[in-house]
Structure 1
Amino acid sequence: MLPVSRGWGVCYARCSTMSSPYFTQCSSVITRSGSQGRTHHTPAASLRSKLTGRQATTGQVSSAAVKVEEEEARIPGIFHKQVNDGPTLIKTEPGVSPLSSQSRRRRQLKVEYDEEEGGQPLKTERWEPPDWKKQLGFIREMRSGRDAPVDNMGAEKCYDSTAPAHVRRFQVLVSLMLSSQTKDQVTGAAMQRLRAHGCTVENILATDDETLGKLIHPVGFWRTKVKYLKLTSAMLKSEFGGDIPDSVEGLVRLPGVGPKMAHLAMDIAWDKVSGIGVDTHVHRISGRLGWLRKPAKNPEETRKALEEWLPRELWSEINWLLVGFGQQVCLPVNPLCSVCLNQHSCPSAHKASPAKRPKSQSPSPSKSSVKTKSESSEDGHVGVKTESLPTPLSPNARRKRTKGKVQ
């Protein structure tokens, strides 16, 4: 049995011996690699190879290993040509089984399209409030006087401008920590006392808790803030060399420092805009003006919502604008909508603030008076006649009175 070269594969065919003298005088040797070692009669060799290929029988031909590309075996719809002499065997990579016709039909191909040269990607529309630019311009006009408490006693005004840089940054952080749940007037007075005592990391650590509490009293939660000041000062001395961190991640690690304080400290102390500082004023006014796509439950949600659409160049200015606007015009209770320039575009304009409910344990007045129509006396003096109302009875008193009537 001799191998026969068939161009792109190798197969084995059975050759019959010819007894004619013409064929015995010339011989042709075909190697396994497909190259022929010929003698002096080339025509006889070519004729013998043709006759050898014709006499191949179906039952006696062995299978040929055919190499095909792996992509052709996996892509459905490509049919492999079958060898005339016998069935074709597909050789695949180890661990990869050939796909059946059913699996080819079920398998889906991922089609990717190349971008055209010079084409621009599709832009998604970014949500933003309809009249925010007009409203912001009016707020700037109303804040042009710069006479709000935050303008004179905010964190930008509470540090000693003649102190070294790291001391100024520390004083900015301390003023921000004291301003939580505290009015700017109280924070400014406490910072003046601290600066006179020595508002540095070393002096805060050297001061006992009682003395430090007297210096910052009456800021909100002053006892807790005394502990935070001591822990923060110790952490700054041991880990940051007496200076404050220059990143939001480092600032929020300090005791008593939240995201709002961290972003404001980055802006004021390090002159870097890392985010919007959102306090109660910014949180309240953003919701009233309709600057939030959906209601926010806390200032942190408001910060994320504002940063989605507000241009970054306005992040540093927006806190100062809205805080002063909330201190003078857009008050927490009973806002002055009649003098606000945004009263025609604000969706919350001229809506009464929710009234505070009386405490359930508050004592009821013993007597209440009701004004009636005025009556004139004989001397012409006009007075107001009042009538006292009976004192409301408690549930126990009403039950006793009812029992007495029944008996």
Structure 2
Amino acid sequence: MPRESNAAKRERGVEFCERLNRRYGPVAAFLDHSSPFRLVISVLLSAQTTDAQVNKVTPELFRRWPTPEAMAGATAEEVAEVIKSLGFYKTKAKHAVEAAQIIVADFGGEVPRTMAELTRLPGVGRKTANIVLNVSFGIVEGIAVDTHVNRIAHRLGLSPKTHEKEPLKTEQDLLKILPHEYWENVNHQWISFGREICHARAPLCGECPMTDICPSARLG
């Protein structure tokens, strides 16, 4: 089969985004984002853990250490005790304290507003940085590719199968295909659709309103 053109992929991707805009409209962040610092920590904690699990521990976490200055004075062991229901909690606790210390020491207690500076923080990669820039500061320079976005991008044929286990490459594929105006809503809208319809193990293709544009639709 001839390779599909980027123009054809773009048309399908834009149509998918337009339909999700009509279905969901703007979707709020799923994690605590009452401040940029809390969002950094919440997203850091969410790696390989559900948002619901993170939201169970952050009320107590932020009650005890609500600011970078407060968390910078905590020990990793103290934080670990609060978040021990999460996967990899010891590493995440260490990263949370170290990130808070760097924010205080290097950025005057303010969460930085650039990709380069954010990804200097322990436990913060492009996905986390994209979410913080987008949600907290309205800066849209990339797409946060989590498991839902990655799965949907490949089922839609917007990223080659060789990139299926490399979210950073999937992000670059999406950035080349989707116009910038759609980047802001991709993460939260696609997560919503992944949770509702496009499940990882058993997608509800029979109920999906996207089957006419989805190369992976399994009907019948």
Could you tell me the TM-score, scaled by structure 2's length? 0.88
Q: Does 1:132 align with 2:13?
A: yes
CA distance in 2, matches of 1:293, 1:227: 36
1:312 equivalent in structure 2: 180
Q: Which structure would you say has the larger Rg?
A: 1
**Counterpart secondary structure, 2:137:** coil
CA distance in 1, matches of 2:131, 2:26: 22
Instruction: Note closer, same or farther for the CA distance 1:308–1:145 as it changes in structure 2 (3 Å cut).
Output: closer
Structure with the bigger percentage of helix = 2
- Give 1:207 shift: 2.4
CA distance in 1, matches of 2:70, 2:26: 37
1:258 equivalent in structure 2: 125
CA distance in 1, matches of 2:47, 2:153: 19
Q: Does 1:342 align with 2:216?
A: no
Q: How does 1:7-406 map to 2 (within 5 A)?
A: 127-129=7-9, 130-143=11-24, 151=28, 154-155=30-31, 158-160=32-34, 168-292=35-159, 295-297=162-164, 298-350=166-218
Amino acid across the alignment from 2:153? S
- Give 1:245 shift: 1.4
Structure with the bigger percentage of strand = 1
CA distance in 1, matches of 2:14, 2:92: 39
Kindly indicate whether the alpha-carbon contact (under 8 Å) linking 2:13 and 2:177 is maintained by their aligned counterparts in 1: no
Kindly indicate whether the alpha-carbon contact (under 8 Å) linking 1:170 and 1:244 is maintained by their aligned counterparts in 2: yes
Instruction: Note closer, same or farther for the CA distance 1:308–1:252 as it changes in structure 2 (3 Å cut).
Output: same
Amino acid across the alignment from 2:98? L
- Give 1:190 shift: 1.6
CA distance in 2, matches of 1:296, 1:218: 32
Kindly indicate whether the alpha-carbon contact (under 8 Å) linking 1:128 and 1:309 is maintained by their aligned counterparts in 2: no
Q: Which runs of 5+ in 1 are unaligned?
A: 1-124, 161-167, 352-407
Percent identity of equivalent pairs: 30
CA distance in 2, matches of 1:340, 1:145: 20
CA distance in 1, matches of 2:137, 2:160: 31
How many residues are treated as equivalent by the alignment?
214
CA distance in 2, matches of 1:228, 1:134: 39
CA distance in 1, matches of 2:147, 2:87: 15
**Counterpart secondary structure, 1:207:** coil
Amino acid across the alignment from 1:140? N
CA distance in 2, matches of 1:294, 1:181: 22
Kindly indicate whether the alpha-carbon contact (under 8 Å) linking 1:193 and 1:216 is maintained by their aligned counterparts in 2: no
CA distance in 2, matches of 1:323, 1:294: 20
Q: Which runs of 5+ in 2 are unaligned?
A: none
**Counterpart secondary structure, 1:238:** helix
Kindly indicate whether the alpha-carbon contact (under 8 Å) linking 1:287 and 1:295 is maintained by their aligned counterparts in 2: no
Of structures 1 and 2, the one with the larger relative CO (CA 8 A, separation 6+) is 2
